[in-house]
Amino acid sequence: MSLFLFLSFVALLSALGVVLAKNPVHSVLFLILTFFTLSAHYLTLNAQFLAAVNIIVYAGAIMVLFLFVIMFLNLNEDTEPHKPALAKIAAAIAGGSLLLIMVAALRGVQPVGYDANTFNSQVGMVDQLGLVLFKQYSLPFELASILLLAAMVGSVMLGKRETGERNF
């Protein structure tokens, strides 16, 4: 329980850091820390595969690209574009209503206990997960893979060199 409290504390603190940091590079680093604490939560739930994949995909690949782009654009306080007041008010209203809905939806939730006699503690292990994914949920799995393939083909099309174009 104390481990959970500590991890949640760090997760919330670093998530706040993402929003409040003035420097975009600091924001990205806080976001990476947030992903690490989420992975630690997965580990405490005995979901090793999910924890490792979360680190590889989010912290290892996507956030490197984020950092890459931010470093390239050299964003800092001086070059920060100032948004009009209307956009700020609209964003505050949209975010506030999302918060309201989430609080309202989660207010009456009762945490469901589990039966210690029948609970399978190995459910998050990679072999169990593979069986569930390829037996029980094989159609959604295949559909998701087709979606990813389509996205990949699209990005290759966008990045392809046009006829006659030379960059170097």
Partner 1 sequence: MTLETLGWQGLVVLVVFGISLLIATYCTYAERVIAAFLQDRVGPDRAGPFGIVQPLADAVKLFTKEEFFPSGANKALFIFGPCLAMITALMSSAVIPFGNILQFGETAIRLQGIEINVGMLYVFGIVSLGVYGIMIGGWASNNKFSLLGAIRAASQNISYELAMGLALIAVLMMSGSLSLRDITLQQSVPGEWHFWNIVKQPLGFIIFIVCAFAETNRTPFDLPECETELVGGYHTEYSSMKMGLYLFAEYVNVFVASAVMSVIYFGGFNFPFQYELREWLHSAQGLSVDAAQNIIVILGVVTIFAKIFAFIFFFMWVRWTLPRFRYDQLMRLGWTILIPLAIFNILLTGGLITTGIIPEIKQWWVSSPLG
User: Residues in the site for partner 1, rule: CB under 8 A?
Assistant: 23, 25, 29, 32, 48-49, 52-53, 55-56, 59-61, 64-65, 67-68, 71-72, 125-127, 168
DSSP 82: P
Of 74 and 97, the one with the shorter C-beta distance to partner 1 is 74
Interhelix angle for 63-73 vs 24-44, to 10°? 170
Query: Which lies closer to partner 1 via its Cβ, residue 10 or residue 124?
Result: 124
Residue 69 beta carbon to partner 1: minimum distance, rounded to whole angstroms: 10
Residue 11 DSSP one-character state: H
Q: How far is the CB of 64 from partner 1 (least distance, A)?
A: 5
Instruction: Show the CA angle centred on residue 83, arms to residues 79 and 84, nearest 5°.
Output: 145
Query: Which is nearer to partner 1, 7 or 32 (by Cβ)?
Result: 32
Q: Residue 28, exposed/middle/buried by CB under 10 A (0-12, 13-18, 19+)? A: buried
Smallest separation (angstroms) from partner 1 to the CB of 53: 7
Smallest gap from Cβ 139 to partner 1, in A, equals: 21
Nearer to partner 1, 56 or 98 (CB): 56
Nearest one of 31, 29, 49, 35 to 7, comparing CA atoms: 35
